[in-house]
Structures are given as C-alpha cells and as structure tokens.
Amino acid sequence: MNIQFYFDSNEVVLTFSGLVAITGLKRKLTIPYSAIMSVEAGGFHERVTALPTGGVSLPFYRTGRFFHNGKRTFMAYSKRDSVVTLELAPSSMYQRIVVETEQPEQIKQQLMTHCQFKE
C-alpha cells in the first residue's frame, strides 16, 4: 500500500498515493493528536461486514469510507494482519481509521509518544 505517515508537532498526516488514492477517494488525512483516543497495531478482523459509503470493498482489499459497527471508518488495507487502528474522538470526521503499514508496532510507538492518553 502506498501510505506514508508524517509526524508533525500537533498532528499526524497520512498521505495516500497510487491505487490507494484513486480507490479510497482521498489523498491525505490530517489527524490531530488530541483526537486520538487509542492506537492498536497488528490485525484487524471484522466481525460485521463494513458498509461502504465511498470506496472499494473486496474480500482482499478495502479502501475508502465505511460504516462499521456503528462508526464512521476510513480503511486502507490489503493485508489485514499488518495495520494500525486509530480510535478517534466521536466529534472527528472518522471515528476509526484502519490503515496498512509494513511496521505497525513502530508506527504505534511513534503515535504513543505524541498522544496525551495512556495505554
């Protein structure tokens, strides 16, 4: 997946390129650290099918906006065992963001150093 994380002093910026940007209908997500309620790394396993509201949903590939377990969710992954999941404040544009990365634990640690919550 063509997803890059940029860590600024007050926010993390996710940029999408290539097929992810086209199918996910988004090139950039900016997330204030203050909006991040929790961070998980590793696998994402859906118990309920996510309802697409803009994007692509295939058994092996998801990108775009979804309604999942009652939450507005942005997903961008093809390997569901290598993702970072951010739970965001209810007032955020998305309440959950699930994105693939080659180093989920490293990204989680970087986010944890900037966020105000305790794990």
Give pLDDT tens digits for 27-51: 889 999 999 999 999 988 775 577 7
List, for residues 56-74, the tens digit of each pLDDT value.
887 778 888 888 888 899 9
Q: Cβ(87)–Cβ(37) under 8 Å? A: yes
- pLDDT number for residue 89: 93
Q: Which residue has better confidence, 55 or 29?
A: 29
User: How many angstroms separate the CA atoms of 30 and 6, rounded?
Assistant: 9
Closest CA to 94 of 15, 22, 31: 31
Here the tokens at position 16 are 């999408």
- Measured CA to CA in angstroms, residue 57 lies from 22, 30, 50, 51, 79 at distances of 13, 23, 9, 9, 13
Report strand pairing: 71-77 vs 96-100.
Answer: parallel
Sketch the domain layout of the chain as residue ranges: 3-114
Per-residue pLDDT for 118 more than 60?
no
